[in-house]
């Protein structure tokens, strides 16, 4: 059997991305700008991006880090807090540069301490978002310490997301970086206003990858990798070509030392090879014919944005991923460091 040697797609977007700030920006923005026309940029900086004014300033810093000649548009988000006002939401909508508002349950993940302590505190903002047509982007994990870490997504859907959807039936919601069969089924059976992003790690690996011959901090992210049956269930929905699932890498660089630590940070860096990694996962599932919709069509349709112009081509030409990339004065260890990836950007 002959295998496909080139893949040409309409120019794709990344609907969930961490770019950080300061001297990390010139290190990571080029990786994304080489592969994606647009990206939804997460607001979990220190301090978080909670106002339109901060989002505008952050956007300018990102644009200053886009390599000369590259066309890349950051789609900004606000960080929802207990104190986000309806006025702030309207300002965000009117700015034309904010495309979503991110809900981090307080304590759920990296830089989430300013997050929402209970969704009822955010109801005024959610009401305004529903009216403004501004999507809610959700880190879907329960934070109750009694909930097992592997069950947090499922419990969040039951206890928080489903009731919230009843209270705001007209709110557009993206359940970000889904990791379970439960989340895949919930979104699949949800209405037109519910979408999901999927990371490369959650369709390439299962939780065994955390303990391959020893503890693997560079495979640790949140929500944490799950059992094989969950990876398979997510890949199955993508292999059906379901229209409300789209590409969101959750690429989240941390300096090497912050991960290789007694208490290592959550986050996997994948921007250096994001599309190439998805191509591998889709190919392994026999679903390459659905990669373009996942990467380039489903996201714009969900967000009500135009598809990108032009195309991008991947060629089958295995390359070895470097052990590390520079990250400001530090380094970041990328996903698949020191191993080969089958696809290369043309």
Q: How far apart are CA 215 and CA 243, in angstroms?
A: 36
Q: Which does 55 bind (CB under 5 to 8 A by kind): Zn ion, ligand DOR, none?
A: none
- Please give the residues from 138 up to 197 whose contact with ligand DOR meets the rule CB under 6 A: 139
CB of 296 to ligand DOR, least distance (A): 24
Q: Are 128 and 104 in contact (CB under 8 A)?
A: no
With CB under 6 A as the contact rule, which of the stretches 52-60, 73-81, 103-111, 322-330 interacts with ligand DOR? 103-111
Alpha carbon distance 43, 191 (integer Å): 27
Burial class (CB in 10 A: 0-12, 13-18, 19+), 285: middle
From 13, 14, 182, 250, the catalytic residue: 250
Residue 97 is a binding residue for ligand DOR (CB under 6 A): no
Q: Which of 336, 343, 277, 298 is nearest to 316 (CA)?
A: 343
CB of 221 to ligand DOR, least distance (A): 3
Alpha carbon 3 to its chain centroid, in Å, reads 30
DSSP3 helix / strand / coil % (the chain, rounded to 5): 40, 20, 40
The total of other beta-carbon atoms located within 10 Å of residue 290's CB is 18
| 44 interacts with ligand DOR by CB under 6 A | yes
Q: Of 149, 152, 84, 66, which Cα lies nearest the Cα of 122?
A: 84
Contact between residue 306 and residue 22 where contact means Cβ atoms under 8 Å apart: no
Q: Is 252 in the site for ligand DOR (CB under 6 A)?
A: yes
| CB of residue 340 to Zn ion, shortest distance in Å | 27
Q: How far is the CB of 42 from ligand DOR (least distance, A)?
A: 6
The H-assigned helical ranges of 36-151 are 52-64, 86-95, 123-132
Q: How far apart are CA 2 and CA 53, in angstroms?
A: 53
Q: Is 153 in the site for Zn ion (CB under 5 A)?
A: no
Which CB atom, from 104 or from 343, has the smaller least distance to ligand DOR? Answer: 104
Cα(126)–Cα(161) distance, integer angstroms: 13
Q: Of the candidates 221, 287, 291, 314, which one interacts with ligand DOR according to CB under 6 A?
A: 221
Considering the rule CB under 6 A, would residue 222 count as an interface residue with ligand DOR?
A: yes
Strands 98-103 and 136-138, bridge-based pairing: parallel
Do you know the residue count of the chain? 346
The span of 83-91, 107-115, 163-171, 282-290 binding ligand DOR (CB under 6 A) equals 107-115
Instruction: Give me the 255-274 binding string for ligand DOR, x by CB under 6 A, dash otherwise.
Output: -----------xx-------
Size of the site for Zn ion (CB under 5 A): 1
Can residue 13 be called a binding residue for Zn ion (CB under 5 A)? no
Nearer to ligand DOR, 270 or 298 (CB): 270
Q: How far is the CB of 297 from ligand DOR (least distance, A)?
A: 26
Does the annotation count 236 as an active-site position? no
Fill in the per-residue mask, 226 to 255: x = in contact with Zn ion (CB under 5 A), - = not in contact: ------------------------x-----
Q: Which residues bind ligand DOR (CB under 6 A)?
A: 18, 44, 109-111, 139, 221-222, 252, 266-267
Residues tagged active-site: 250
Q: Which residues bind Zn ion (CB under 5 A)?
A: 250
């Amino acid at each position: 059997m002959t295998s496909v040697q080139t893949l040409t797609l309409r120019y794709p977007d990344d609907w969930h991305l961490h770019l950080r700030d300061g001297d990390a920006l010139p290190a990571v923005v080029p990786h994304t700008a080489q592969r994606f026309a647009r990206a939804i940029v997460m607001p979990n900086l220190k301090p978080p991006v909670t106002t339109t004014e901060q989002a505008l300033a952050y956007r300018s810093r990102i644009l200053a880090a886009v390599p000369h000649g590259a066309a890349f548009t950051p789609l900004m988000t606000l960080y929802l807090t207990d104190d986000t006002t309806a006025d702030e939401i309207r300002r965000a909508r009117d700015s034309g540069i904010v495309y979503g508002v991110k809900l981090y349950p307080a304590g759920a993940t990296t830089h989430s301490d300013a997050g929402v302590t209970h969704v009822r505190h955010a109801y005024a903002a959610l009401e305004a978002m529903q009216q403004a047509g501004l999507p809610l982007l959700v880190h879907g994990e329960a934070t109750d310490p009694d909930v097992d870490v592997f069950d947090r997504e499922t419990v969040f859907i039951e206890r928080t997301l489903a009731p919230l959807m009843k209270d705001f039936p007209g709110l557009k919601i993206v359940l970000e970086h889904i990791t379970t069969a439960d989340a895949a089924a919930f979104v699949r059976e949800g209405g037109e206003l519910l979408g999901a992003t999927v990371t490369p790690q959650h369709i390439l690996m299962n939780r065994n990858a955390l303990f391959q011959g020893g503890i693997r901090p560079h495979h640790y992210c949140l929500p944490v990798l799950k059992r094989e049956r969950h990876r398979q269930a997510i890949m199955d929905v993508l292999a059906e070509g379901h229209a409300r699932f789209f590409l969101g890498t959750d690429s989240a660089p941390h300096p090497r030392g912050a991960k290789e630590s007694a208490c290592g940070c959550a986050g996997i860096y994948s921007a250096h090879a994001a599309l190439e990694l998805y191509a591998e996962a889709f190919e392994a599932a026999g679903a390459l014919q659905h990669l373009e919709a996942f990467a380039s069509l489903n996201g714009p349709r969900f967000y009500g944005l135009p598809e990108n112009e032009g195309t991008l081509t991947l060629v089958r030409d295995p390359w070895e991923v470097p052990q590390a990339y520079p990250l400001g004065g530090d380094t970041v260890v990328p996903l698949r460091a020191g191993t080969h990836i089958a696809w290369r950007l043309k």
